[in-house]
Structure 1
């Protein structure tokens, strides 16, 4: 089995070494650039004093060309440094994932959490120390949203899941490509954002175009008028044409520039603001378009980018050239250039033409990028955990078989258990004392089922299951705004699960400490009724409880089995092994824990 930790460490060290070499080169070029500028000024001054003007201009031109070359070289190597720096950070985060230090990652996905979702809050899908925080490698808004969709709405079709499994296997083996895709997004992140924006770009790209700039007569006018004006200027200087002819031509062009100048400038500024993001998306599209994929799902995504006569990359390249040209507006010489050639109009015409032809396609391209990013995040699980396995699925109902099933997020001191639910058994009743592992077992089963249904590897030696809809009732709090007690909120949640169990898709439920907010008699009666309803509607699941009397259901109702966790005592300390055993719990520990924290339970 490969040593994933060592692989990430080696990659990080390799990139750190390259980064150090490039950084030293950047410093040397920076110093040489400064020296070139000083020598150029010095040589020009001496040439003016001791030589002639033409020699001075020649020397100044030579040094200026060398200076520009060094500027471009410095810029290029600085970009390479940024790229390498991002690779170092990506591999360090990968090391942190392996070491269990991922809970400090900045993007917890807390903003994506829907507290009313059927399992997200109970299974730690989003938020601090969540599945999202652990696996997320997306850098774009669409990638983040697509990963959210994967996690909240798992696939319910076996063939689709198998297609995604093949995709994840392929991406898992392509660590260089995955990290390259991540770098392209990471190097362009600004203002401490967690991801590249998309909404603003969609709004900009799909905004209704200013049709005046796509009118053929205006396009011809903007091409012909500067040509006429320049001819008139040349005739004035070399052909004796009266002054007022070039004056009229230039004045007319200045007037045209003034018309709509503010709106054009605002649009150009907006385009410039999006330039780094657009370049990042373009580079990501290029990676996807040119990749040599073999899995069906990735080929389908690739097809969406190349199916047009002009591929997405070609269309984004055209936009990139327009944006680069817009940046020249900041040059001091641009004003004169604009007056002579109506450059603003040429840029605006090119921009509006691009929007008309390609603007509405931008969301679809970005959606493809997001989909690939989300799949890449899932593939990290497979790569980082070579001892995990892809689950299998059965068309038979009410099946969940797992061997050495562990909680994915417990990267240290993980205890695994075997679990079997298959007809005639449909419900496992889990008993055990406080802190023995009941709730963790429920979350272990739930989160692994979600991973299975989204096409990921699972934390188990083996897992085979039916397609079921996961529903949970575990963390239920009161709601002061809605005037709901925790007990009533739990009732409403369980009501929804019972309703869902009557629908077409089989429900897999996880009920933790059912009806713990009421008295023991009502809790017992209510729990029996709920379990009976769910069993009769064909639902499958686990129920944890402290109510040992519920264990009698194993004999009273077919399809229910008792399992338990237990604790041991050694040197006046309580010890848990977190191993699941058949039968009812034979032990309790509440009084021991009370005495341990200083609450005396002994009768006087």
Structure 2
């Protein structure tokens, strides 16, 4: 973390100095532009008063040329400052990840919260103070959605692929400058949040532009320039020229009526194409060592087709497309040389060559975008460890901490292996039971996406995660929190019966019923989970459940404790073997001022 902190701080400091220097230059250039205009107007006025009109024209042209040059230089410096300011923001976000200020980020993925998902709502995957909010630095919509899919564990988990992803994440973590350049390029040219499914669909279309359309366009272009020449030499009146242009406009509308949708599509996404062209070029130009990244990159080259070259071609083509509704220059250009027709013809030829590759190329870019976010974990936490992926349904590790708590996380050692299948976690209120369940669950999720985990060492099998930690009433469906808990447990049991390798995290199960039913139900549930091959943790206040350890070697007890100092309750949040020997409910009531008779 110290290494990452130094890197981010040095970059913020270095780029802030550059930004300040550029700001001074930009201000000087801005004043220079004003001085040039004033000087031109003053000298032109003096020349006008002296009746030196030829000198006035040359003087105006001279100053206008200088003004244009200075304006272009001004735009270059503005663009340079914009890039530097984006880089400052990227590194400041890195510092916020380290300090915990990432919680202030507006993009927390709250829309992806799914209370029907086996674990999303319980493990802080999305929403406020979530893993998504912590690591997300994606610059494309597809990359963001890919990150969501990875964190939701939607893909089938495979040991070899997880191990390959670990190497990929580690490599990308070390390529922090390349990742920041990726984020920079993806942040500069953003246009809209328009998805690119329409581009993919366009790529799948077949057919090219009608050859007759090209012939007709060429004929009218010849007529245009012939008419202009004849009008210049006074053979044709200017009014005839206007008539020719009006006819051109009608002909263009007729010839492009079948491709108007495509023209509109490219008008809307040409900035996205330029952005994605830059990102794909970055990927293709970079050398990768890990097999997973190499395989991803290889999808960008197919025989004699290079994604970088082809995306540059379509990006350059789209630079010529202008919205004739708002761009007078493009309207004139379109009328003179039928630019819409020829641009769309070239795009059709490009589609014949590359249309089937668009989807693949974008998927590669999206996955790199998502993996770059996960690589933030690797770079920011160099003292974390890559977990060992086991073939057996086991989980154990030393000094395991919650990934979102950073330096304040209290770390614990835990083991559930060999014949042990269920860990009963007891302890008083606020002692750390629920947090520990979330600690194991969130580190499991990180393990499965190839990220390092907050532990000294960590080993786990590949299992389906099911949780029941926080249940809510659903007034629309008339479901109480207790019944919602029953439904989640039902889903868990069904998964076990289907033969899934299940890892469960159950917090104070059946808390919505009386103590006798809760005790009986818990025993039945635990026995069923063991019977059908599930392993996991159950936290409970029911100390009698701990007697199960003596009856079944597959059950083991752990506990959290509290202690009192100066009549105040304190917790060390340390996990210990055995059942809890303390309770604090009555003491907490007394501390709150509630008189107990």
Q: TM (normalized to structure 2)? A: 0.92
Moved more, 565-574 or 322-331: 322-331
Task: Write out per-residue CA displacement over residues 236-291 of structure 1, whole angstroms, 9 at most, x where no aligned residue.
Answer: 65596899997886564344135368887786565344333332222211211111
Whole-Å separation in 2 of the counterparts to 1:230 and 1:246: 10
Change (3 A) 1:335 1:41: farther
Change (3 A) 1:491 1:211: closer
Q: Which residue of 2 aligns with 1:110?
A: 110
Whole-Å separation in 2 of the counterparts to 1:559 and 1:342: 78
Change (3 A) 1:291 1:571: same
Task: Write out per-residue CA displacement over residues 28-55 of structure 1, whole angstroms, 9 at most, x where no aligned residue.
Answer: 2222223333334444555555476554
Q: Which residue of 2 aligns with 1:193?
A: none
Whole-Å separation in 2 of the counterparts to 1:414 and 1:315: 49
CA contact (8 A) 1:143 1:370 kept: yes
Please state if 1:280 is matched with 2:275. yes
Task: Write out per-residue CA displacement over residues 332-360 of structure 1, whole angstroms, 9 at most, x where no aligned residue.
Answer: 55554443323343344445554565455
Please state if 1:214 is matched with 2:215. no
Whole-Å separation in 1 of the counterparts to 2:568 and 2:190: 51
Match of 2:368 among 343, 368, 372: 372
Q: Which residue of 2 aligns with 1:386?
A: 382
1:376-525 to structure 2, matched below 5 A, reads 376-395=372-391, 397-525=392-520
Q: Which residue of 1 aligns with 2:78?
A: 78
Change (3 A) 1:2 1:562: same
Whole-Å separation in 2 of the counterparts to 1:164 and 1:186: 25
SS at match of 2:406: coil
CA contact (8 A) 2:468 2:507 kept: yes
1:154-169 to structure 2, matched below 5 A, reads 156-169=157-170
Change (3 A) 1:202 1:528: same
Q: Which residue of 2 aligns with 1:589?
A: 584
Change (3 A) 1:436 1:258: closer
Please state if 1:295 is matched with 2:296. no
1:206-245 to structure 2, matched below 5 A, reads 206-207=201-202, 214-231=209-226, 233-234=228-229
Whole-Å separation in 1 of the counterparts to 2:25 and 2:163: 49
Whole-Å separation in 2 of the counterparts to 1:436 and 1:542: 16
CA contact (8 A) 2:203 2:356 kept: no
1:220-369 to structure 2, matched below 5 A, reads 220-231=215-226, 233-234=228-229, 252-259=247-254, 268=263, 271-307=266-302, 309-327=304-322, 329=324, 332-354=328-350, 358=354, 361-369=357-365
SS at match of 1:274: helix
The CA deviation at 1:402 is 0.3
The CA deviation at 1:85 is 0.9
CA contact (8 A) 2:377 2:452 kept: yes
Task: Write out per-residue CA displacement over residues 547-569 of structure 1, whole angstroms, 9 at most, x where no aligned residue.
Answer: 00001111112311111111111
Whole-Å separation in 2 of the counterparts to 1:210 and 1:303: 25
Q: Which residue of 2 aligns with 1:561?
A: 556
Change (3 A) 1:421 1:56: same
CA contact (8 A) 1:100 1:412 kept: no
Whole-Å separation in 2 of the counterparts to 1:311 and 1:477: 52
Whole-Å separation in 2 of the counterparts to 1:375 and 1:334: 40
Moved more, 592-601 or 427-436: 592-601
SS at match of 1:3: helix
What are structure 1's unaligned runs of at least 5 residues?
191-195
SS at match of 2:222: helix
CA contact (8 A) 2:194 2:269 kept: no
SS at match of 1:326: coil
Moved more, 449-458 or 226-235: 226-235
Whole-Å separation in 2 of the counterparts to 1:168 and 1:587: 43
Q: What RMSD in Å do the two structures reach over aligned CA positions?
A: 2.8
CA contact (8 A) 2:388 2:458 kept: yes
Q: Which residue of 1 aligns with 2:142?
A: 142
Change (3 A) 1:247 1:11: closer
Whole-Å separation in 2 of the counterparts to 1:483 and 1:47: 87
CA contact (8 A) 2:98 2:380 kept: yes
CA contact (8 A) 1:337 1:343 kept: yes
CA contact (8 A) 1:428 1:560 kept: yes
CA contact (8 A) 2:37 2:63 kept: yes
Whole-Å separation in 1 of the counterparts to 2:20 and 2:467: 51
Q: TM (normalized to structure 1)? A: 0.91
Moved more, 318-327 or 481-490: 318-327
SS at match of 2:364: helix
Change (3 A) 1:304 1:42: farther
Change (3 A) 1:236 1:376: closer
Change (3 A) 1:151 1:415: same
Moved more, 150-159 or 52-61: 52-61
Q: Which residue of 1 aligns with 2:16?
A: 16
Q: Which residue of 2 aligns with 1:26?
A: 26
CA contact (8 A) 1:141 1:197 kept: yes
Whole-Å separation in 2 of the counterparts to 1:269 and 1:32: 40
Please state if 1:578 is matched with 2:573. yes
Q: Which residue of 2 aligns with 1:543?
A: 538
Aligned pairs, number: 595
Change (3 A) 1:349 1:67: farther
Whole-Å separation in 2 of the counterparts to 1:299 and 1:208: 25
